[in-house]
Amino acid sequence: MGILQTVHRRHIRFNPADAAHRVAYWRLRTTGKQDENLRFVLEEGYSNVLAMMQARIADHFSQPTEEAAKVLRMKK
């Protein structure tokens, strides 16, 4: 794909809470091909989109829920 073809596509910020974004991550991880409809902005501090997606997904699913946070506060 040429540079002119990618310029006309809207770039969006990866959101691990969005199921469509996670599907795009899985497709990139398993096939090496990006979703043609979703192009993600590479955030500062990352060298590639896949590493950024993996870190954001890990952070998203590692954050404790409110209920878990309450339990942890009770145990102290």
In terms of Cβ atoms closer than 10 Å to its own Cβ (0-12, 13-18, 19+), residue 19 is exposed
The pTM (predicted TM-score) of the whole model is 0.73
Q: How far apart are CA 47 and CA 75, in angstroms?
A: 40
| pLDDT of 8 | 65
**SS3 state at 35:** coil
How does pLDDT run across 49-70, given as a tens digit for each residue? 999 999 999 999 998 777 777 7
Confidence of residue 1 (pLDDT cuts 50, 70, 90): very low
Q: Is 10 exposed, middle or buried (0-12, 13-18, 19+ CB in 10 A)?
A: exposed
CA distances from 73 to 60, 61, 66 (A): 21, 20, 11
**Residue 23: which pLDDT band, with cuts at 50, 70 and 90?**
very high
Q: Is pLDDT above 90 for 36?
A: no
In the chain, domain spans: 3-75
